[in-house]
Amino acid sequence: MKKFVIGACALALAATSLFAEGKVLNIYCWNDEFTSRFNDFYAANKPKALEGVEVKWHQIPNQGSAYQDALDAALAKQGSAKADDKIDIFLVEADYAKKYTKAGVALDVQKDIGLSKKDMANQFEYTKNVVTDAKGAIRGTSWQACPAAVIYRRSIAKAVFGTDDPAKVQAKISDWKKFDAAAAELKAKGYYMVAGFDDIYRVYDDNRTKAWVKGNKIQIDPKINDWIKQTKEYTEKGYNNKTSLWDDTWNAGMMADGKVFAYFGPNWLINFCMHDGEAGSATGDWAIAQGPQGYSWGGTWICAAEGTDNKALVKDIMLALTCNADNMKALSIKTLDFANNTVAMNALAADDNFKAAFLGGQNPYGMMVANCAAIKKNVLTPYEQQMTEKLQAAMKDYYLGKVDLDKAWDNFYTSVIEALPNLKK
């Protein structure tokens, strides 16, 4: 009998483990995404490594800094905690991965856990870059890659451009100049190109070549200024609906009667935010195009905590969920996630029988594989999340005309340095 329970509740399996390791596996996460992947594509296969092990899920919401605060507190006690209370696995996102993927916090998944280069050979390279430390050690591994694209409304494309064909729509938005011209066409017919201020941000941010921080000094990449200039123009011309990411008006644009042409995002946005959320009412009225530039957004990495007494089990989980091509292909078919495996994704991209109902029967994987080639993720710092959130908040006042650009920048620097006093302008 199996029963997986979040928090203090746990699962007890009656059989004896074949591994002379800990009998409790503590996993820190912020939602049930990894829980479902673990249950459906690992535990459901009844692996011997899991026999006799109690799995405890410590799920803390990701809002604000609640998850990171709880994780920080638990990691601080890792050295003195009882064996059954030690963190074994914790999850991180790209926006703050560098904070945790370092010696003394996360183990080297090759040297310490035992994944080989061959095991990880089919993973998309950028997913390794995100969790690689300054000395070249890889301190995490992921079941997903997050290449992103333009997710557009078919009915609006037909009304404005006369076609909803992805190739023809891509021709209309294949660079930023064309994208701007398409935005003007959409506006003339009563539609918004994007929902709000933040939609295009990730494209520019992901194509930076300069890190946010060098030494302890804040740096501004030219791509960030390009985003600010474009978003101000789109706001003034009515090409966006003056919304902020995740707010009610932003979500409402996805509804069947929404007037927003495009949302920028990866497969998880389609799967978790559109298909299961507001846009579910418009299933089949969406498609994807590559857009002006390749980019990525988000992702979740599995890290093994320093001090875990379940290394063999952690290795078995990592192998099954992030290195097994068959598992990862099955995951993508079931969830529409983009698996972190070139073999699995190329196989699905070439499968003429795979059709995503939400995307009107389109197979998105070939396009997403192509977008992966442009992703580097080699200028990340531990400060990505703070920089993004502070910048978007400061510039919103500028877009709305409440402050001028110089004041918006002053507010950005002030808010960052208050939160991160080790940094300077």
Calculate the CA dihedral of residues 190, 194, 197, 201 and round it to 10 degrees: -160
Question: Are residues 307 and 247 part of one domain?
Answer: no
- pTM beyond 0.85: the answer is yes
Domain that holds residue 165: 148-296+378-419
Residue 352 burial (CB count, 10 A) = 6
d(CA 314, CA 321): 11
Q: Which of 284, 308, 335 is the C-terminal boundary of a domain?
A: 335
Query: Is 215 among the domain residues?
Result: yes
Question: Are residues 289 and 229 part of one domain?
Answer: yes
Count up the domains in the chain and report the number.
Answer: 2
Q: What is the CA radius of gyration of the chain?
A: 22
Query: Is 305 among the domain residues?
Result: yes
Question: Maximum Cα–Cα distance for the chain, whole Å?
Answer: 68
Question: Are residues 23 and 51 part of one domain?
Answer: yes
CATH code for position 285: 3.40.190.10
Q: Which residues of the chain, if any, have pLDDT below 70?
A: 1-20, 276-278, 280
Question: Are residues 157 and 124 part of one domain?
Answer: no
How high is the pLDDT of residue 373?
81
How high is the pLDDT of residue 278?
63
Chain center to CA of 68: 16
Q: What is the token pair recorded at 292?
A: 């002006």
Question: Are residues 180 and 135 part of one domain?
Answer: no
Q: What is the token pair recorded at 265?
A: 């995002």
Question: Are residues 140 and 160 part of one domain?
Answer: no
The predicted-structure confidence for 308-325, as pLDDT tens digits, reads as follows 999 999 999 999 999 999
Question: Are residues 178 and 275 part of one domain?
Answer: yes
d(CA 37, CA 300): 12
Query: Is 260 among the domain residues?
Result: yes
Residue type, position 413, single letter: Y
The predicted-structure confidence for 215-274, as pLDDT tens digits, reads as follows 999 999 999 999 999 999 999 999 999 999 999 999 999 999 999 999 999 999 998 888
Give the bridge partners for 263, in sequence order. 151
Query: Is 395 among the domain residues?
Result: yes
Query: Is 9 among the domain residues?
Result: yes
Question: Are residues 135 and 19 part of one domain?
Answer: yes
The closest alpha carbon to 377, from 91, 119, 123, 151, belongs to 123
Question: Are residues 191 and 285 part of one domain?
Answer: yes
How high is the pLDDT of residue 276?
67
How high is the pLDDT of residue 100?
97
Query: Is 367 among the domain residues?
Result: no
Question: Are residues 164 and 39 part of one domain?
Answer: no
